[in-house]
Amino acid sequence: SQKIEQNSEALNIQEGKTATLTCNYTNYSPAYLQWYRQDPGRGPVFLLLIRENEKEKRKERLKVTFDTTLKQSLFHITASQPADSATYLCALGNTDKLIFGTGTRLQVFP
């Protein structure tokens, strides 16, 4: 069955550093991959979408890469800030249905 793993449950980094989050998947060939931010008790908020024929996407301090050979996506937040502290979810899709990973809780400390 399809499986999506995000590298760790929690990641702690110092303000100003680059946070790198990993999303690996198996038994699936997604047409696209999305990254979301989720704060406690709130709904997911869309950050970036990358399609299977794209290698990299950037948006302000965010960068996503997508390697369909390795079946992996990396999500980078550069110059991280305490306000970036949240849970980050990767989600894969072929049709309109999204399959979510369990998320990585990022804590940025001053």
Residue numbers at the binding site for another protein (CB under 8 A): 31-32, 34, 36, 38, 41-46, 49, 51, 89, 91, 93, 95-103
Least separation in angstroms between residue 17's CB and another protein is: 27
Strands 104-109 and 10-14: parallel
Asked if 107 contacts 50 with a C-beta cutoff of 8 angstroms, the reply is no
Spatial separation of the C-alpha atoms in residues 81 and 62, rounded to whole Å: 12
Q: Which is nearer to another protein, 41 or 110 (CB)?
A: 41
Query: In this structure, what are the phi and psi dihedrals at residue 83, rounded to the nearest 5 degrees?
Result: -70, -15
Q: Which is nearer to another protein, 28 or 100 (CB)?
A: 100
Q: Which is nearer to another protein, 16 or 46 (CB)?
A: 46
Q: What are 6's two structure tokens?
A: 């995000």
Q: Which is nearer to another protein, 2 or 18 (CB)?
A: 2
Least separation in angstroms between residue 95's CB and another protein is: 6
Q: Which residue, among 48, 43, 42, has the nearest Cα to 21 in the 3D structure?
A: 48
